[in-house]
Structure 1
């Protein structure tokens, strides 16, 4: 099991050479924090190369590319209905909109009207 030590970035800056020796010789991983939250992890180059190799083997982007190459073509509903002799309505070129209603003026005088007689 890898030993993990958490310290602040400020403390790591003061002890950088000591930390690098511990990482390479004792196989320790340092987690550096900023304002109490983990920011980065320092590990040996061997560990980094192992992680990099593992990520390249299980790369999800490669899987997506493979899936796109094997992509099958699906029929649309319109194609299936046409194959069975069923008609599909054509889509209109012009979209239809509801007619706008005219504003009807109220017969009662408005409170905000200028011609209010009291």
Structure 2
């Protein structure tokens, strides 16, 4: 099963993390096997009983650095909301698509390694 998420909020991300903490199993994947995201490492091992989560418009927990690489903000044992605005990578900006026209949205999607993969896998 695949979950295609188009909101920027943290609701689905929170659900994924809560599930891991509660059941001590990870039934979800988002292709962030490495941080930053590595587009050459998108193989899915043991896909059975796991759901792919695709953040199609980005999210508040995703960042893009000045080189265009995508990072996922993780809690590191701290409330993740407390980490917003604390970019560990100079020049990193939140990754989310908010452009007005369809063509501008697609242009931004194609400029992101992670978002272009999500778009390709639709």
- Greater gyration radius: 1
Q: TM-score, normalised by structure 2?
A: 0.22
Q: TM-score, normalised by structure 1?
A: 0.23
Structure with more of its chain in strand, by fraction: 2
Query: RCO higher in 1 or 2 (8 Å CA, sep ≥ 6)?
Result: 2
